[in-house]
Amino acid sequence: MGEISGPAAFSGDELQTWSSLATVLEWLPALLDAQLQRDAGLTHFEYGLLYALSVAPDRTLRLSVLAGYANSSLTKLSRAVTRLERRQWVRRTTDPTDGRYTLATLTELGWHQVDEAMPGHVATVRRLVLTPLTAAQHQQLRDITQSILTAAGPGHPWRSPTADTPVDMDGHT
């Protein structure tokens, strides 16, 4: 840490801001995961995979591309796809145009699974985050998160917020 950092401990004001954010950081993902797990037997991560496939052309993506969308290591993805395959929601194929790639395709069964899981998840996000905030707060939150993401700086592959096809793993376009 070779940087000017100020006093070693937070001021009361800093602490208020940070601890309130930290609390959300701790609980919100847990709540979302719990809902998906309870109602659809899916982790948020697995849901994200199924969702990304569901909006992809031919419901198919190369694993490496999917890993990018999911912000996941190939290891984690490979094992997750194995689990989803076991449940018949996804099928693996070798890319016919280049045998080095592996394609993941959403099955019909998997499509139904997304279809069933999405409304509950969307409703939960609305209930916990979107509805409680005023329109002004929506804008404020976007600005704030943008500042934080910018501070995290380049060198982190933030998903471009203006991408033409924002295959946002948490998104539901």
> Among residues 37, 54, 65, 118, which is the contact residue for a second copy, using CB under 8 A?
118
Residues between 58 and 77 with contacts to DNA, criterion CB under 7 A: 62-65, 72-76
The option from a second copy, DNA, none interacting with 10 (CB < 5 to 8 A, set by class) reads a second copy
CB of 165 to a second copy, least distance (A): 12
Handedness of CA 147, 52, 163, 63 (dihedral sign): positive
DSSP assigned state of 57: G
102 binds DNA (CB under 7 A): yes
Q: How many residues in total does the chain contain?
A: 173
> What number of CA atoms fall less than 13 Å from residue 7's CA on the CB side?
6
| Contact (Cβ atoms closer than 8 angstroms) between residue 108 and residue 87 | no
Surface-to-core class of residue 113, CB atoms within 10 Å of its CB (0-12 exposed, 13-18 middle, 19+ buried)? buried
Q: How many residues bind DNA (CB under 7 A)?
A: 23
100 binds DNA (CB under 7 A): yes
Binding site for a second copy (CB under 8 A): 1, 3, 5-6, 8-10, 12-29, 31, 39, 71, 118-120, 122-133, 137-138, 140-152, 156, 158-159, 161, 166, 168-173
